Structure 1
Amino acid sequence: MYHDLLIPTDGSDGTRQALVHGLAIARRFDATVHALSVLPEGPYGSLESDESAAEAERDAERALERVETDAERDGLESATAIRRGAPHEEILAYAEENGIDMIVMGTHGRTGIDRALVGSVTERIVREASVPVVTVRVSDDLRIGDAADAEAIALEGLEARGYDDATTVDDPHRTSGSWIVPVETREGRIQVHVDAASGDVRLARLDG
């Protein structure tokens, strides 16, 4: 039913939560995951220095790399793109040009004006898109604020991946929007990243 699924992303908590839901849908239908990051220009943009513009592009690239990594982990094909322009226009144009069957979006972006902007963009996509749009409501609070909870989620995620002998070797620590949980397994040491907003688990490093 759904062959190509689009997830607009900026790497924020909101779009990471949308990614979790989008990947679940993609796994169900073995769909190709498209990730699009739009750098706002025109009435949606702001006067930025060259330095801040370069930082925004690096953020976009990192957000797309995250989607590629998670899609590959789930055995899904992926395609990524960065565009510049009015976000809702670029998202709708990409969807039409690439035969997108469904769009999955968060309702919030980063903070301040960006939060209002992303909410407005999502609303316009819902109104104007010719394909189904799944919106993921984002809580203002981090779901995982405690190290013990992060450790439990990390071990549970590893067990689901067949690492039933994993034990923690150091206390979990926060970095940006994730918890890092160092563990030891029969195959060596693994660093587990637990997304503090969504609870998503991924293996960040495996040492033999």
Structure 2
Amino acid sequence: MYERILHPTDGSTGSAHVTLQAIDLAEQYGATVHGVNVVDSDVSALLGSDSDTLEQQGKNAVKSVENMAKAHGVEVETEVLNGDPAETILDYAEEIDADIIVSGTHGRSGVKRQLLGSVAERLVRHASMPVMTVQLPETDVTVENSEQAKTIASEALEEQGYDAEITSVSRQLTVWVLDAETEDGTLLVYLDPETQRTSIID
């Protein structure tokens, strides 16, 4: 159903959640995620940023998409473009023959949120393909509590063929750490709170 998923991003707080929605679709359909950031020079003055700063932010934003997609084994391509965000995204969608656009939209007030919401609204109105909008949360963390971490780690262990029970869960600065018991001993599971990538050490 989907082969090419276009995911515009500006790297805003909470955008990891939107990226994961695009990645989830890509995993379901074996699709490629196309992460794109559009540098709008007209907005730089409004936000108090120069174009070089915005371009670097764009590179960082699509790099985050690339890292998350690769962590989930999803094919990914990224671009940083210049122009009017909505128009450029729509043109790029046509260029790559995108099957769907997965875009974040603002949840609260603020200049950046209003701009993002305006872009998402224009995409919905004018895109020739389906547009999925995802409300941006207030954080990039996608694994927010120990129960969620335990569930994800348990699923990862099962997928890797381990018959194991999680015995402890703790949150360190940048990672969840879980202990799991098997008949043969103890396993250590590291879980990235943003990408949800797990590493199992026996």
Smaller-chain TM-score range?
0.7 to 0.9
The secondary structure found in structure 2 opposite 1:11 is coil
Partner of 1:74: 72
Ranges in structure 1 where 5+ consecutive residues have no aligned partner:
none
- CA-atom RMSD in angstroms: 3.5
Cα distance in structure 2, aligned partners of 1:67 and 1:91: 16
Partner of 1:8: 8
Which of these residues, 117, 120, 123, is aligned with residue 118 of structure 2? 120
1:23-172 equivalences in 2 (<5 Å):
23-42=23-42, 44-46=43-45, 48-50=48-50, 53-54=52-53, 56-108=54-106, 112-139=110-137, 146=145, 148-149=146-147, 151-153=149-151, 155-156=153-154, 158-162=156-160, 171-172=170-171
**Percent identical:** 33
Whose radius of gyration is greater, 1 or 2?
2
**TM-score, normalised relative to structure 2:** 0.75
Q: Which piece of structure 1 moves more, 111-120 or 135-144?
A: 135-144
Q: Which piece of structure 1 moves more, 1-10 or 119-128?
A: 1-10
Q: Aligned-pair distance for 1:37?
A: 1.1
Residue 16 of structure 2 aligns with an amino acid whose one-letter code is R
The answer as to whether partners of 1:168 and 1:181 remain within 8 angstroms in 2 is no
The answer as to whether partners of 1:12 and 1:110 remain within 8 angstroms in 2 is no
Task: Give aligned pairs, total.
Answer: 195
C-alpha spacing 1:131/1:170, structure 2 compared with 1 (3 Å): closer
The answer as to whether partners of 2:153 and 2:189 remain within 8 angstroms in 1 is no
Which of these residues, 175, 182, 188, is aligned with residue 177 of structure 2? 182
The answer as to whether partners of 1:10 and 1:109 remain within 8 angstroms in 2 is no
**TM-score, normalised relative to structure 1:** 0.73
Partner of 1:193: 192
Cα distance in structure 2, aligned partners of 1:109 and 1:83: 25
Q: Aligned-pair distance for 1:62?
A: 2.9
Ranges in structure 2 where 5+ consecutive residues have no aligned partner:
none
1:21-65 CA distances to partner (integer Å, 9 max, x unpaired)?
A: 2112222221111000122222x4425455x843x4443323322
C-alpha spacing 1:111/1:207, structure 2 compared with 1 (3 Å): farther
1:202 aligns to 2:197 (yes or no):
yes
The secondary structure found in structure 2 opposite 1:46 is helix
The answer as to whether partners of 2:32 and 2:77 remain within 8 angstroms in 1 is yes
